[in-house]
Amino acid sequence: MAILMTPELAQPDTCLRIGDFTPKTNLFLSPIARFCDLPFRLVARSCGGIGLACTDLLSPHGLLKENDKSMYLAATCPEDEPLCMQLFGEDPELMAKAAQWAEAHGAVVIDINMGCPADKVVKKDGGVALMRRPEAATRIAQAIVEAVKVPVTAKMRLGFDACQQNSPQLARMLADVGIQLITVHGRTGAQRFGGDVDRSGIAAVVEAVADIPVLGNGDIKSPQDAKEMIDSTGCAGVMIGRRALSDPWIFRDTHAYLTTGTIPEPPTFDQRVELVIRHFKLLVEYRGPRRATMDMRQRISWYARMLPKTKSLKQNMNRIGSPEEFYEVIGQYRATVAGST
Ligand SMILES: Cc1cc2nc3c(=O)[nH]c(=O)nc-3n(C[C@H](O)[C@H](O)[C@H](O)COP(=O)(O)O)c2cc1C
């Protein structure tokens, strides 16, 4: 079992290792169900700075049956490297088989979801429910570690709820059976996305598993936030989720800030619009025109956060029914904003 981390942030390119795998940066793209599919990962990677990107949570049943939904969620290609595939579930044998499937289909890291608070996952004892059953969680981890050659990681919260904040103890148990990196979202499962991120809770995990890297996660919205997370918790790197949906350049900017202390010029209006168009083209390529159109209706509100004068863009995009209408709406928006500046 490998691993290590030095506190030397001046060279983050070389300071984080996950077993035999050394990511180029210590900045990871979070799994975000329904959003972190192949088209989005390709778009986000094209902006630079990502050390490792993760799929959305994947069902072991779905992977092993190779059903359409799971095959779409696990789809990858050479430009999508390096890739982590995240599994959720509670059956060690099934999870181990799914991990072997993931390893055979392009995953260089396998992550176990121990943080999802969604009812349908928790009801089946998966996601954050595993934090209530640390022995069961550890059995799953051990089964996967024994089944694959690639490194195995786990993503958790501070605990199931305020009364059961056992992330340091669980992280230790997982590290002892060969888990090579822990990501901690600094909230409990019961908090879902409410309340503040508790960085001291993340620091406690860092202390508990000094022999493997820990990633801090939660509410990182700027390079400065990432640096504060690292400085205040001692974590080896960060995982960024929601901010990447509106600003995929966050990884490039954060990497520059951590290594040089400066943040590059922000992308221009045209570059942001071009990125939305590129994303749409990839959605059409991988999902087909109808689903791409539906998908972009949802995604535009995230991109709109970083664009000016988006009221009519959001309204019109919400009504698009075909790729032609997408191009018409984005073209009109571009011309209107360009004409008003
Ligand atoms: C819509 C949505 C879907 C998510 N799906 C997953 C998931 O599939 N697996 C997972 O481990 N975390 C999932 N998360 C949690 C994120 O990975 C991340 O831990 C959380 O959003 C906090 O980070 P952020 O503030 O940078 O977004 C999801 C979060 C959101 C908002």
CATH of the domain at 247: 3.20.20.70
Please give the residue range of the domain that contains residue 318: 269-339
Same domain (yes/no): 252, 299: no
Ligand 1 contact, 39 CB (< 6 A): no
Residue-wise pLDDT for 281-337, tens only, equals 999 999 999 999 999 999 999 999 999 999 999 999 999 999 999 999 999 999 999
pLDDT digits (tens, 9 = 90+) for 39-98: 999 999 999 999 999 999 999 999 999 999 999 999 999 999 999 999 999 999 999 999
pLDDT score recorded for residue 295:
97
Is the domain of 34 the same as that of 155? yes
Query: Could you tell me if 123 and 209 lie in one domain?
Result: yes
pLDDT > 90? residue 7: no
The CB of 89 under 6 Å from ligand 1? The reply is no
Question: Which CATH number fits the domain that encloses residue 322?
Answer: 1.10.1200.80
One domain for residues 236 and 273: no
Final residue of a structural domain among 238, 260, 282: 260
Which among 28, 30, 50, 187 is the best mutation to test ligand 1's pocket, defined by most ligand atoms within 8 Å of the CB?
A: 30
Q: Cβ(189) to ligand 1 under 6 A?
A: no
Domain count, the chain: 2
pLDDT mean across residues, the chain: 95
Catalytic-role residue among 36, 116, 163, 235: 116
| The 3-state secondary structure of 107-155, one letter per residue | CCEEEEEECCCCHHHHCCCCHHHHHHCHHHHHHHHHHHHHHCCCCEEEE
- Is 235 part of the annotated catalytic residue set? no
Of ligand 1's listed atoms, the one at least distance from the Cα of 127 is 11
Please state the atom number of ligand 1 nearest to the C-alpha of residue 197.
Answer: 25
Q: Mind listing the pLDDT tens digit for each residue in 138-167?
A: 999 999 999 999 999 999 999 999 999 999
Are 291 and 239 within one domain? no
How many Å apart are CA 292 and CA 279, to the nearest integer? 9
Nearest CA to ligand 1 atom 2: 32
Same domain, 75 and 44: yes
Pocket test for ligand 1, best of 27, 29, 32, 88 (most atoms within 8 A of CB): 32
